[in-house]
Amino acid sequence: MTAFTAILVDGYRELVAKKLFTLSMILSLLVVAVIGIGGLNEQGVTIFGFTIEVPMINSTMFTPAEFYKFMFNSVGVKFWLGWLACLLALVSSAGMFPEMVSSGVVENMLSRPIPRWRLYIYKFTAGLLFTSLQMAVFCLASFLVIGLRGGAWEPGLFLAIPLVTLLYSYLFAMSALLGTVTRSAIAALLLTILFWGFLFTVNSAETIVNGFRIGSVKECQAIEALMQKRKKENPDVDVSDLQTELERDQSTLSNLALWHRVVFALKTVLPKTDETTSLLQRWTLEASNMQDEGADDAEEVAATAQKQRRRGGPGFGNSRAKTSVVVAAIEADQRSRGVGWILGTSVAFEIVTLGVGCWLFSRRDF
């Protein structure tokens, strides 16, 4: 424990010596301050007494507590901590492992009575301090803002500390491995960002393909329902047009399902950065129940969808399934992915990455 504590303290001192850590900490507090300064009235969002009209975001739609929690999650965690602060942390800590394995330093580390794999893990843990300390400060400030301004004291916010630290740890494990292999901070940073971009691409591809797949499922269901409805009204009615439409959509669905299986398999073995931070939303915010507004009738939906497409509006390519139904189905599908799958597979990838790093570090001559 003496060595572990010493490496942690050393890691903290290294961070404090870097201006980027202080800068990042100040920016975190600024983000919380900006969230805290904002407020809600019936027209929209208020800042310093001025009202900015924002559709769907006003005091009739959200309570103050919901607004601040939403801002904490979407702006604070998802945008600031999930992206920018993580990037700053990567920049700041990319040099930790290349520095540790550099000549003149590594000899002092390896000639001590500590197994190499432990040194690697201790150093890795020290590298997580940047994010965890920043998260601790951010969450404490947000907890106070939501409590004081929104009137809701939400200890669940502190779950963001382990969640965002975990998200960062997926990336830092890769940065540590690359830093050990290349012995270059720049190479480690650039390749880690590339890896992060790859994760983002795979995640986006899976989300998009899955969206279309679910849209297609719902479309087929809507067509089948419409066919039954027409036949029920008039058993002799000709539904060959719908049958053709159904067969075309089923063929599309078959292709989409195949592609989704491929992308999903790839995603399964990779860390899930976006879904990890989304867990916070699951645990701290109420699910946004979309109200079914408008007609239930598939023909009416199709007409509305056509109008929307002509205007360049939203849609999943479906013309008969209601957008709200599709969105709800996608949300349900995403929520069906358990915490065990999201975190378990991500942590498994991280363990493999760390294992490879430890193995290389233990085998190499310095």
Partner 1 sequence: MYGGNTHALRDVSLNVGAGEIFGLLGPNGAGKSTLVKVLLTVVKPTVARGAMLGKPIGDKKTLARVGYLPEQHRLAPYLTARQAVEFVAALSGVDRATRKKRAAELLDRVGLSKWMDRRVNVFSKGMRQRAGLAAALVNDPQIVFLDEPTDGVDPVGRVEIRDLLIQMRREGRTVFLNSHLLGEAEQVCDRVAILVQGRVVKQGRMDDLQREGSRQELIVRWSGSGASAGVGAQFAANGSAIARSLPFRGMNIAPTVLADGTHQYVFGDVDAAAAQPALAAAIATGGEIISLIPMHQRLEELFMKIVVDPTTGKAPPPGAGS
Among the listed residues 32, 43, 38, the one whose alpha carbon sits nearest the alpha carbon of residue 67: 38
Cα separation values, 334 from 4, 167, 210, 240, 337, Å:
39, 18, 10, 35, 6
Check if the beta carbon of residue 98 is closer than 8 Å to that of residue 182.
yes
User: How far is the C-alpha of 324 from the C-alpha of 249, rounded, in Å?
Assistant: 19
Which SS3 state, helix, strand or coil, does residue 56 take?
A: coil
Which SS3 state, helix, strand or coil, does residue 39 take?
A: strand
Q: Is 363 in the site for partner 1 (CB under 8 A)?
A: yes
Name the residue nearer to partner 1 (CB basis): 5 or 254: 5
Cα separation values, 269 from 74, 160, 272, Å:
26, 23, 9
Among the listed residues 27, 147, 148, the one whose alpha carbon sits nearest the alpha carbon of residue 76: 27
Contact residue for partner 1 among 19, 42, 49, 104 (CB under 8 A): 104
Q: Is 106 in the site for partner 1 (CB under 8 A)?
A: yes
Choices 6-14, 32-40, 230-238, 331-339 (CB under 8 A): range interacting with partner 1: 6-14
Choices 8-16, 80-88, 167-175, 293-301 (CB under 8 A): range interacting with partner 1: 8-16
Cα separation values, 28 from 7, 264, 361, Å:
26, 34, 34
Biggest CA–CA distance in the chain, Å, is 88
Cα separation values, 268 from 163, 181, 199, 207, Å:
18, 26, 11, 13
Name the residue nearer to partner 1 (CB basis): 115 or 151: 115
Choices 3-11, 141-149, 152-160, 304-312 (CB under 8 A): range interacting with partner 1: 3-11
Contact residue for partner 1 among 35, 109, 325, 358 (CB under 8 A): 109
- In the complex, what is the shortest distance from the CB of residue 345 to partner 1, in angstroms, rounded to a whole number? 34
Check if the beta carbon of residue 98 is closer than 8 Å to that of residue 184.
yes
Choices 19-27, 99-107, 157-165, 310-318 (CB under 8 A): range interacting with partner 1: 99-107
User: How far is the C-alpha of 38 from the C-alpha of 50, rounded, in Å?
Assistant: 10
User: How far is the C-alpha of 81 from the C-alpha of 9, rounded, in Å?
Assistant: 23
- In the complex, what is the shortest distance from the CB of residue 106 to partner 1, in angstroms, rounded to a whole number? 7
Name the residue nearer to partner 1 (CB basis): 20 or 140: 20
- In the complex, what is the shortest distance from the CB of residue 126 to partner 1, in angstroms, rounded to a whole number? 12
Contact residue for partner 1 among 29, 47, 105, 266 (CB under 8 A): 105
- In the complex, what is the shortest distance from the CB of residue 272 to partner 1, in angstroms, rounded to a whole number? 35
Q: Is 108 in the site for partner 1 (CB under 8 A)?
A: yes
- In the complex, what is the shortest distance from the CB of residue 213 to partner 1, in angstroms, rounded to a whole number? 52
Name the residue nearer to partner 1 (CB basis): 105 or 258: 105
- In the complex, what is the shortest distance from the CB of residue 283 to partner 1, in angstroms, rounded to a whole number? 38
Q: Is 350 in the site for partner 1 (CB under 8 A)?
A: no
Q: Is 110 in the site for partner 1 (CB under 8 A)?
A: yes
Name the residue nearer to partner 1 (CB basis): 7 or 301: 7
Which residues here bind partner 1, judged by CB under 8 A?
Answer: 2-3, 5-7, 10, 13-14, 16-17, 102-115, 363, 365-366
